[in-house]
Structure 1
Amino acid sequence: MRSRHGSLDRHLYRFVPLLLTLALNGCASLNYYGQLAKGQVSLLRAREPIAQVIADPTRDPRLREHLQRAQAARVFASAHLHLPDNQSYRLYADIKRPYVLWNVFATPEFSLEPQTHCFPIAGCVAYRGYYDQNAARGAAGLQKQAGMDVYVSGVETYSTLGWFDDPIISSMMSWGDERLATLIFHELAHQRFYVKDDTEFNESYATFVEQEGTRQWRLAQGLSPTGEDQGQQRDQFIELVLETRDRLKALYGQPLAPTVMREKKAAEFERLRAQYKQLQASQWQGDKRYDAWVYAPMNNAKLLPFGLYDRWVPAFAALFKQVDGDWPTFFQAVEKWGRLPPDERKAAMVEISR
């Protein structure tokens, strides 16, 4: 088998020992990992060099222009942010669907602890991914029947942590130029460094690289360092959600009857909506960018991505400042944190955040 930019044979052998190992865990595991392998191979087959797309006059002009601007950000990522210089995000894949996969998050009804899933390569994470939306919905339905809080989230892209040359995917092409650039920075950060079994560390680290990388990318284009309003609104919204998480965590630690706990849990979500509405009116001039998320059904699992992606961003920001904004030194320090035992790593991040 060949993709449009080279042989797949050197990649596919990686799935063989993985699937043989998982077969020992039973049919359910084999079926799940089988769909992961099938989905990843399908994505690999769809890839083509972006340079070819840009040079092809028969392709959509808007696509070609968007990809050309994305390549400028890709060059910046390696040349200025010291992120991996490989073929990732120099390839394009048209998958002909809105999301590349769907993640299923789950928590107990009265807990913010995620149900974790462990994988041979990536370690343990707080979600399970499915390339088919119906399969994701089916898995979510089973979790709900078991009494869990469940949230299904469409994912436009993901990182294979350097195992493959990750493409820019058609599911990302509705994004503006800056959002596409931030995604490239975020996912290449995962390729640069990744710690098994610590989702909060990995995602907070990549989110910081994304944010600081975007700030520097804007400066390089002669723009203001940040989209001031959007950045401030994002931070305020995240703070609002994390405060709700903290209140819920305190609530779930109380010895209350289930009926009382459910009432108080629902009240906290209504409090979140009220605070959001007040923030819109007082500081955002009525901006409604988060309305769809806020006014849709709410549960514990829906809050999980916020804690996972943002919890330690201030620690990484403090570390970056400590090394005077030098990217190679920053990455060395991040790797040093990553080699620490989990408790010591967390203590180091708490200390630098003070």
Structure 2
Amino acid sequence: MRRRWRLPALLLAAAAGLASCSTLNYYAHLGRGQWQVLNAREPIDRILADPQRDPELRRRLSLALAARDYASQRLGLPANGSYRRYADLGRPYVVWNVFAAPELSLQPLEHCFPIAGCVAYRGYYSEAEARAEALRLQAQGYETHIGGVPAYSTLGWFDDPLLNTMLRWDDDRLLETLFHELAHQQVYLPGDTAFNESYASFVGEQGLREWRAARGQPAEGSLALQREAGFVALLSATRERLEAGYASAADDDARRAAKAAAFAQLAQDYAALKAGWNGWGGYDRFFATPMNNAKLLPFALYNQHLAAFAALFAREGGDWPRFHAAVAALAAQPAEARGRALAALTAAPGVADAG
């Protein structure tokens, strides 16, 4: 799994006045982690000009820099200092997010922060601290999942660097994520993770399609992206099956039976998906640990409103500035009105074929 989990901007300064020592300690942890990321930055131009640096690193940073310019010039995304510097953190992930849910519900345990609003996870720059938090929540009866995060956005508060953790992907994944993260700086609605992530996911995917088309490349992107789409669809279908089972069951025993059946079906469906991939098992590690509700939480956040944003983009004639303005207008609406508007966009004729 790649960048499907992100930590939004959580600023130490925003913690001023909070009384809880544990809360202050957590914000101090975030402040230290963010400072380490910023302190590790170096200008990409300097790396490109140094023939002693790794040639493959220079090639990929050059590609990212070209895509960064494309994002501002063609996709209507912010023209600022983000992703013009590089930081090698010396670890595989920049943060680890902890998701938690009850045994018989897909309702996430939410955490609320100044600026970012309420989100369905809590992020840590230390894997050990993330695991300690997961154990604490398990002791309270929650099911938990820890997801490593290769990229996140500070929503424009800082000039976010390109990270070594992002270079583990192929070129298409890297550029899609760059567009995605810049979208968070363009429009961000505190407290509505599904809206924010669906919007940014659409921008990333559509931006990559246009980038590839401009270079005479096939629109569908890399094989890795195609496989990921199949994987995400599989987990999203399981979420829907579980939600229906929890809602219709008469009691907790029936809910547990529905849960067991849904996860058994998931195992069968993944085996069939792998067979279609000629046995490629890139997601085996995800399935190697027991499935639970918390492991499924991210998959609704990033795809829930994709069709709506595709319809909105089509309605605005594929004009990026108009599209971003329309998204900002949606974000300004009250929650109920915004929900109705997104539902109407999703139901628009032809939206199933959008994108």
Runs of 5+ unmatched residues, structure 1: 1-13
Name the structure 2 match of 1:182. Answer: 176
- Does residue 130 of the first structure (1) align with residue 151 of the second (2)? no
Query: Which residue does 2:306 correspond to in 1?
Result: 313
CA distance in 2, matches of 1:339, 1:20: 27
1:11 — aligned with what?
none
**Are residues 72 and 198 of structure 1, via their aligned partners in 2, closer, same or farther at CA, if it must alter by over 3 Å?**
same
**2:300 paired with 1:304:** no
Q: Distance in 1 between matches of 2:12 and 2:128?
A: 26
Deviations 1:83-142 (A, max 9, x none): 111110001111111111100001111111111111101111100000111000000001
1:59 to 37, 49, 53: 53
For the residues of structure 1 that align with 2:76 and 2:258, how far apart are their CA atoms? 48
List aligned pairs for 1:250-261, cutoff 5 A.
250-254=244-248, 256-261=250-255
Mapping of residues 24-43 of structure 1, within 5 Å: 25-43=19-37
Which residue number corresponds to residue 187 of structure 2? 193
> Among 105, 108, 116, which residue is 2:110 paired with?
116
Instruction: Say which is worse superposed, 63-72 or 132-141, in terms of deviation.
Output: 63-72
User: Cα–Cα, structure 1 residues 318 and 209, in superposed 2: closer, same or farther, change >3 Å?
Assistant: same
1:19 aligned residue (5, 15, 21): 15
| Deviation for aligned residue 1:278 | 2.1
Distance 1:137 1:16, change over 3 A: closer
Q: TM-score, normalised by structure 1?
A: 0.91
Matches within 5 A, 1:18-167: 18-22=14-18, 25-167=19-161
Given that residues 114 and 301 in structure 1 are in contact (C-alpha distance below 8 angstroms), is that contact kept between their aligned partners in structure 2? yes
> How much has 1:65 moved relative to structure 2?
1.6
The two structures have a TM-score, normalised by structure 2, of 0.90
| Shift in Å, 1:252 | 1.8
Structure 2 residue corresponding to 1:333, chosen from 321, 326, 337? 326
Partner of 2:3: none
1:287, CA displacement in angstroms?
A: 3.6
The equivalent residue for 2:282 is 289
| C-alpha distance in structure 1 between counterparts of 2:12 and 2:188, whole Å | 23
How far apart are the structure 1 equivalents of 2:11 and 2:131? 25
TM-superposed CA distance for 1:66, in Å, is 1.4
Whether the aligned pair in 1 keeps the contact of 2:138 and 2:144 (CA below 8 Å) is: yes
Q: How many percent identity over aligned positions?
A: 49
CA contact (8 A) 2:242 2:262 kept: yes
- Tell me the equivalent position of 2:350: none
CA–CA separation in structure 2 for the residues paired with 1:280 and 1:248: 22
Aligned-partner residue type, residue 20 of structure 1? A
1:188-214: CA deviations, max 9, x gaps?
Answer: 000011001100000000000000000
Does structure 2 conserve the Cα–Cα contact (< 8 Å) formed by 1:105 and 1:302? yes
Q: Distance in 2 between matches of 1:192 and 1:260?
A: 45
| CA deviation profile, 1:203-261 (whole Å, cap 9, x unmatched) | 00000000000001111221011227555544443232222112211222245554553
Q: CA RMSD in A?
A: 1.8
- 1:15–1:37 CA contact under 8 A, matched in 2: yes
Which amino acid in the other structure matches residue 296 of structure 1? T
Helix, strand or coil at the partner of 1:251 = helix
Looking at structure 2, the residues matched to 16 and 204 of structure 1 have their Cα atoms a distance apart, in angstroms, of 27
Q: Select the residue among 326, 341, 349 that pairs with 2:342.
A: 349
Kindly provide the amino acid, as one letter, of the partner of residue 226 in structure 1: E
For 2:51 and 2:295, how far apart are their aligned partners in 1? Answer: 43
Q: Distance in 1 between matches of 2:20 and 2:223?
A: 51
Assess if the C-alpha contact under 8 Å between 2:15 and 2:114 holds in 1. Answer: no
Instruction: State which drifts further: 71-80 or 186-195.
Output: 71-80
